[in-house]
Chain A
Amino acid sequence: MADYKIKRLSEYKWEIEKDTTKGMRVPGIIYADDILFEHARSENTIDQVVNVAGLPGIINASYAMPDIHFGYGFPIGGVAAFGIEDGVISPGGVGFDISCGVRLLRTNIEASSIKNKLEDIMYKLNGAIPKGVGSKGRIKLSKHEMHKLFTGGVPWAIKSGYGWEEDSVCIEENGCMEGANPDYVSREACERGNDQVGSLGSGNHFLELQKVSKIYDGRAADVMGLYEGQLTVMIHSGSRGLGHQVCGDYLKVMQQTPFWRNASIADRQLACAPLNSSEGKRYFGAMVCAVNYAMVNRHCLAHWVRLAFESIFGSSAKKLDMSLVYDVSHNIAKIETHRINGADCKVCVHRKGATRAFGPESAGIPEVYKDIGQPVIIPGDMGRYSFIMTGTQRAMQESFGSTCHGAGRILSRTQAKKQIDGSELQKQLLKDKGIVVLAQSLSGLAEEAPAAYKDVSKVVEVAHNAGLSKKVVMLEPLGVIKG
């Protein structure tokens, strides 16, 4: 790691001082305790925070959330805002899995009541959810329908018969981000996406049945309709091949511009273009299509889950109160209004492995959550717990309304496969914790083992104590479907 001047600003906040000799235009700010900071330092992730600090038009700082870890281009957990007039947009600041995100459904079912039939339920859900390498969904869309999806998002899916009318209210951007332009999505991207709507994918994507195991903020939990012992469903997926192709297409486009040739930025994965350039506008229009696709993808997965529950429990999903608590992305670039030096300014906020965490009374969050702040969904690992938090005013002031998005790995995939046997892990989780895990690939399962991840409660604790988001409930896994 290069020699940086590091200043500890508070117990959970560190500053990498601006150093123009390293190309930094702003300082780096990392939210972490001693252990998480040391982990970031040991992985050389601070270099990635510094690289982002050198991008043109960056405002205030290059931020890293408490789950910071080594990525490609941006660090995972990276947040950066850019001026609309003089700033850039970077596909690498969003990632390949555009709008990868998480959705939480609640139920009125007591988790304890399904203990004896959990395995049966999991196998039925497993049959209902398309997943794994090369998987396709149950829907195949024509080019015309794909364009409708890109511009119409979740409201289009609802009109087409998937989900409930009221669902879109509890999705970031009401399930349809503005600015989609299907003309900027390549034929290859459309072809990759036209049969993958409603499929989980593989890697760290999952569907979990969970139990609300602890309440930290009773008032916020009440507003979200969450209570101790309740059964919930969490879905983690993204924009599938479509998003991957959009990112790849525009990384190529942006590296072939005079702007990039003169930019002198070390990492090609940070390829970017001015927001107001033709390349920047085209990427934004295509990226929004992928964002809307990802939200529809999770929406359709939730639709299959509701249908499976209706069949399993012999009751309608409405009677089972399978309402959507929230759906939020953690790989995205958005035009948002933030208070900068006392004035409201429009900026382009990149969140790469970071979650929007808008505080109470913020614009753009559902009316029902105006008093408590936007729900933030933080998935953990398959053996321990996940968390629901709320956004805060402090996050609005400090981190462009952003917080962490998950645990972050401590073992590489190779190390995990070397140390952990997928089949043994499956048996052990069932024997020790009663967790039913179904996976397409046992080696893939080993890569996603709890031991491969940091304890997400440590990350959440830092986000809570730093004031970026507030703990509401803890969710423990009962059954897991891995892609």
Chain B
Amino acid sequence: MKKEKTEKADTDTEGFVIIEHPADTGISLTAESLEKAFEIAAEGMFSIICSIKKVKPQKQIRMRISSSPEMGVEGLLVAWLEKLIYLHEIKKMLFSKFDVAIKENKSKKIKLSANVYGEKIKPSFHELYLAVKAPTYHKLSLKKDFANKGRWTGMVIFDV
């Protein structure tokens, strides 16, 4: 079961929590797989933007991004969230469901392909909270935590 917007970080349960930042806001997350970590991060970000439970996964968009070895999975996570903000702004859509696949090729380039699902923004219905300007690299982390049953744990601070 996913845990949303609780105040206490919980690394045993798959999901995200909103974390405190003096000026901005962020999420910490726990996931059973790398792909799931990306899906949960996206859910966390759209939970900052709107009431995500009200967003119907009516329309599907297919997307692909990649990240160089020096940017790593953390860089790919930022690129993924940036791409979702871009789609949100230019298509005037909110997203609530994310199916992510990630592959690494021989040259260590990491490729992400995803189907994202959502609908057009209806301001009065979706309870818009706050625009997320961007995910930042500040305190950014995403790693497999061998001390925690090999789960993926991470943190993203957003500029809002």
Question: A residues bordering B, Cβ < 8 Å?
Answer: 43, 69-73, 76, 92, 95-97, 132-134, 136, 188, 191-192, 196, 201-203, 241, 244-245, 247-248, 251-252, 255-256, 261, 267-269, 271, 408-409, 412-415, 440-441, 443-444, 447, 483
Contact = CB atoms under 8 A, between A and B. Distances in A.
Given A134-B128, A415-B20, 6 more contacts: A95-B159, A245-B82, A269-B136, A441-B128, A441-B129, A444-B130
B23 A96 contact: no
Interface of B: 7, 18-25, 49-50, 68, 70-71, 75, 78-79, 82, 85-86, 88-90, 92, 121, 123, 127-131, 133-134, 136-140, 157, 159-160
Contacts of A95: 159
B70 A256 contact: yes
B112 to A, nearest CB: 15
A73 B85 CA distance: 21
Nearest to A70: B22
B89 A252 contact: no
Contact of A133 (B49, B79, B134): B49
B134 A191 contact: no
Given A261-B70, A269-B138, A72 B129 contact: no
Nearest to A245: B86
A414 B25 contact: yes
Given A132-B128, A134-B88, A244 B133 contact: yes
A105 B159 CA distance: 28
A132 B134 contact: no
Nearest to B90: A191
Contacts of B78: 248, 252
A96 B133 contact: yes
B68 A256 contact: yes
B23 to A, nearest CB: 5
14 contacts: A69-B22, A96-B136, A97-B133, A134-B131, A192-B89, A192-B90, A203-B160, A248-B134, A255-B70, A255-B71, A256-B71, A267-B138, A271-B137, A483-B131
Nearest to A203: B160
B22 A244 contact: no
Contacts of A72: 24, 136-139, 157, 159
A267 B86 contact: no
B7 to A, nearest CB: 8
A179 B136 CA distance: 26
Contact of B21 (A70, A92, A196, A203): A70
Main secondary structure of the interface of B (DSSP, over half): loop
Contacts of A202: 128, 130-131
Contact of A96 (B7, B22, B89, B134): B134
A134 B121 contact: yes
Contact of A201 (B49, B129, B131, B140): B131
A71 B137 CA distance: 12
B25 A268 contact: no
A269 B156 CA distance: 12
A71 B160 CA distance: 11
A251 B92 CA distance: 25
Contact of A268 (B24, B86, B133, B137): B137
B137 A444 contact: no
Contact of A73 (B19, B75, B138): B138
A443 B18 CA distance: 15
A427 to B, nearest CB: 20
A234 B133 CA distance: 22
Nearest to A134: B121
B137 A133 contact: no
A244 B19 CA distance: 22
Given A133-B129, A201-B131, A440-B128, A413 B90 contact: no
Contact of B24 (A192, A256, A271, A413): A413
Contacts of A414: 7, 18-20, 25
A29 B50 CA distance: 40
B99 to A, nearest CB: 23
Interface centre among A241, A252, A256, A413 (most CB of B within 10 A): A413
B128 to A, nearest CB: 4
B22 A268 contact: no
B26 to A, nearest CB: 9
B136 A134 contact: no
Contacts of A415: 20
A407 to B, nearest CB: 11
A247 B134 contact: yes
Contacts of A76: 23
A449 to B, nearest CB: 14
Nearest to B83: A188
Contacts of A267: 137-138
A133 B140 CA distance: 24
B25 A413 contact: yes
Given A133-B129, A192-B90, A409 B138 contact: no
Given A192-B86, A409-B22, A413-B24, A73 B131 contact: no
Contact of B138 (A241, A268, A444): A268
A418 B79 CA distance: 31
Nearest to B139: A72
A268 B21 contact: no
B23 A69 contact: yes
A30 B89 CA distance: 38
Leading 8 A-B pairs by shortest Cβ distance: A72-B138, A268-B137, A133-B128, A70-B22, A269-B138, A202-B131, A72-B136, A244-B133
Interface centre among B121, B128, B130, B139 (most CB of A within 10 A): B130
B131 A413 contact: no
B78 to A, nearest CB: 8
Nearest to B137: A268
A70 B23 contact: yes
A247 B138 CA distance: 14
Contacts of B160: 203, 413
A256 B76 CA distance: 13
